[in-house]
Structure 1
Amino acid sequence: MATRSRPVSKKCAVIGGSGFLGQHLVESLLEKGYSVNVFDIHKGIQNDRVCFFQGDLCNVQDLQLALEGVTTVFHCASPAPSSDNRELFYKVNFIGTKAVIRACKQAGVQKLILTSSASVVFEGSDVKNGQEDLPYAKKPIDYYTETKILQEKEVLSSNNPDENFLTVAIRPHGIFGPRDPQLVPVLVDTAKRGKMKFIIGDGNNLVDFTFVKNVVHGHILAAERLEKNSAICGKAYHITNDEPIPFWEFLSRILVGLGYDAPRYHLPYLLVYYLAVMLSLVSLLLKPFLTFKPTFTPMRVALAGTYHYYSCEKAKCDMGYSPLVRLDKAIEETVQSYSHLRRAGSTAEM
């Protein structure tokens, strides 16, 4: 008996589907009955229900193979924010995104949902309950942010209902969850090396950390609401857990949950920040002679010592967004998923 094919409108592509967010997004789309193509530079996802396409993000012909018959594209490919490769950020986030837009239009794709970042409005100073109408950062804190601004502008400006091409940008902040190769593994490694003893500033600065399942939920809601004449066309939306938490409390809960000591000694924020600036200048001066990468960079210090949390009211109003998983449960799930990183001999529990 022949199986009935899914409606064409349910066929989508996830660009960057081998990554942390991409894998979670693909799994959720499959659960909702979508037919999914994945495009990435390497195959990091193993699922027989997915059609995988390997290629260069900047190559329109490579992309077109993955976009054939697709009506909705989720673009979440990006180098890790921790990288310091300016050329790579520019190539992937800007040049690659221009190629994605071109390929989408040539393939007849109707909807493009971009994974942007709330950092596009962050300049290293406090942002409290930030709204989407904040201006783009004039002095971005790093190359990642600088190129995410270019990327978001490119995607939103390409929104054109007359050509049946609709776009929206999702701005998550502080994504975490099971299988994240960055936050928890780096945090544990730092603790193992005895470098998680200090709190930068007074420790009261509130920050958004967003569970990956909630970020995925925001993306899919955007895709489902993205129609001609809808309020979200050509707009950007903050998607967070909507539960700001002190930065150092969040890190401490992860560390303690895995059997490590929480940081407890305070260092003055401005002192650490200016030391980080000086070390960055020294590293630049020494670059022709040796590679020197300071542990503390101005960007990392700013992220650790300032307020940066964002309002989700616009997403709630226009998309009906509400976090699926509350923060306490999200932290618990995340810690449990990293049981293999638990400190030897520890019996700590959440």
Structure 2
Amino acid sequence: MATRIRPSSKRCTVIGGSGFLGRHLVEQLLVRGYLVSVFDIQQSYELPGVTFHLGDLCNKQALLPALQGVSLVFHCASPFPGSDDRSLFQRVNVDGTGAVLEACQEAGVQKLVLTSSASVVFEGTDIKDGKEELPYAKKPIDYYTETKIQQEKLVLQACNEENGFLTVAIRPHGIFGPRDPQLVPILVDTARRGKMKFIIGDGSNLVDFTFVENVVHGLILAAEHLRPKSPLCGRAYHITNDEPVQFWDFMSQVLMGLGYDAPRYHLPYWLVYGLALLLWLLALLLRPVVRLRPTFTPMRVALAGTHHYYSCTRAKQDMGYRPLVGLQEAIVRTVESYPHLRRGA
């Protein structure tokens, strides 16, 4: 049994703190005077005053030393959504989260803030100004979404005011910003291979993209407003830039900012979605023999061709959330942070 140290309200641990979102969160917590520990499978940077604990989050015994004397845990560890590895998603998002919850309760942690995803309510059809009351997707269109639904349910159901353990889930959507290892690098790689010429659908679909600093702001606000009898206990909150933008306009701004051509030829949405579905099924059938990784999965096509933007009203009312950085400034700052990805660099 781990020995209990009296938790300090300013001592926190960021699980997944070596990742893109995790590192931004760690940096902002330090600015705000928190004492920060990181638990992750690897250490990707060093910061004065930050203690790193390396280990597998499915191992409760490895987690416990990182949670001693800590009152607050941020859980933002997750595999990359596009990895399409069912067993990995199950292991990290579901089994790992179960171990995190057990370790938190054993170590006397008082608050857990989960980074969930707005995709938990997305089934590949239009969502306009979606509220948190929307039901979970009954037919999730990828393994990431399927396991994020299970993860969020586990965390919110673990909220227990009588036992002094409070939980809340933050659902960001389309996170981007400096040091992002996915969105911008993948976009540029696709453009360099000459595959960013086409717009899926008519190009009018509105979506949320959320600057990483705004997500971090939402996570910290949630932690600071999560207390007994508060409306946050056991609930989920959408956090976005609150500025829906046409998906292909956003992509074009990033590409043109880095010196690449914007896509301009239109392809019918249902045609591309049907092809993506066929390729996905083919990859599934051939998996025992050969591993195919189709560029266009049904989820990626749905994200590129449908409306999906969410209401932040609940976060505004319950924790005073307002985006700190507007979308246009966020795009400029993101583009400027990738000089090495510019055309001709």
TM-score by length of 2: 0.97
C-alpha separation in 2, matches of 1:176 and 1:238: 16
In the TM superposition, what is the alpha-carbon distance from 1:279 to its structure 2 partner? 1.3
Question: After the TM superposition, which residues 254-269 of structure 1 pair with which residues of structure 2 at under 5 Å, given as runs?
Answer: 254-269=254-269
Shift in Å at residue 48 of structure 1?
A: 2.2
Q: Deviations over 1:270-319 (max 9, x none)?
A: 01111111111222222233222222111111010000000000000000
Aligned to 1:4: none
Q: Provide the rounded CA distance (Å) in 2 between the counterparts of 1:205 and 1:197.
A: 17
Query: Does the aligned pair in 2 maintain the 1:74–1:112 contact within 8 Å?
Result: yes
Secondary structure at the residue paired with 1:47? coil
276-285 or 88-97, which moves further after superposition? 276-285
- Corresponding residue number in structure 2 for 1:166: 166
Q: CA-to-partner distance for each residue in 1:2-32, whole Å, 9 max, x for gaps?
A: xxxxx92100000000000000000000000
Question: C-alpha distance in 2, partners of 1:306/1:131?
Answer: 17
Q: Which stretch of the first structure deviates more once superposed, 286-295 or 246-255?
A: 286-295
The 3-state SS of whatever aligns with 1:289 is coil
> C-alpha displacement at 1:56, in angstroms?
0.9
Deviation of 1:339 after TM superposition, in Å, equals: 1.2
Unaligned runs of 5+ in 1: 1-6, 346-350
Aligned length: 339
Equivalent in the alignment of 2:211: 211
Tell me if structure 2 keeps the 8 A contact 1:237–1:314: yes
| Partner residue, 2:291 | 291
Query: Mean Cα displacement is larger for which, 15-24 or 281-290?
Result: 281-290
Correspondence for 2:47: 47
Deviation digits for residues 195-232 of structure 1 (CA, Å, limit 9, x no counterpart): 00000000000000000000000000000000000011
Query: How far is the alpha carbon of 1:42 from its aligned partner?
Result: 0.4
Query: How many Å separate the matches in 2 of 1:285 and 1:231?
Result: 47
Helix, strand or coil: the match of 1:128? strand
Deviation at 1:120, TM superposition (A): 0.1
C-alpha distance in structure 1 between counterparts of 2:290 and 2:98, whole Å: 35
| TM-score, L = length of structure 1 | 0.96
Quote the residue 1:322 is aligned against. Answer: 322
Q: Cα offset for 1:237?
A: 0.0
The question of whether the paired residues in 2 share the 8 Å contact of 1:111 and 1:226 is answered with yes
Whole-Å Cα distance in 2 between the matches of residues 335 and 145 of structure 1? 28
Contact between 1:17 and 1:45, CA under 8 Å: does it hold in 2?
Answer: no
Deviation at 1:45, TM superposition (A): 2.5
Percent of residue pairs bearing the same amino acid type = 70
Equivalent residue, structure 2, for 1:125: 125
2:82 aligns to what? 82
What is the correspondence of 1:117-266 to structure 2 with a 5 Å cutoff?
A: 117-266=117-266
List runs of 5+ in structure 2 lacking aligned partners. Answer: 1-6
How far apart, CA to CA, are the structure 2 residues paired with 1:283 and 1:59?
32
Match of 1:277 in 2: 277
Q: Which residue of 1 aligns with 2:108?
A: 108
Counterpart Cα distance in 1 of 2:115 and 2:189: 28
Secondary structure in structure 2 of the residue aligned to 1:12: strand
Structure 1, residues 50-98: CA drift from partner, whole Å, max 9, x if none?
0110011011111110000000000000000011110010000000001
SS of the equivalent of 1:71 reads: strand
SS in 1 for 2:77: coil
2: distance between equivalents of 1:159 and 1:293?
A: 39
3-state SS of 1:21 partner: helix
Secondary structure class of the residue paired with 2:33: coil
Which residue is equivalent to 2:4?
none
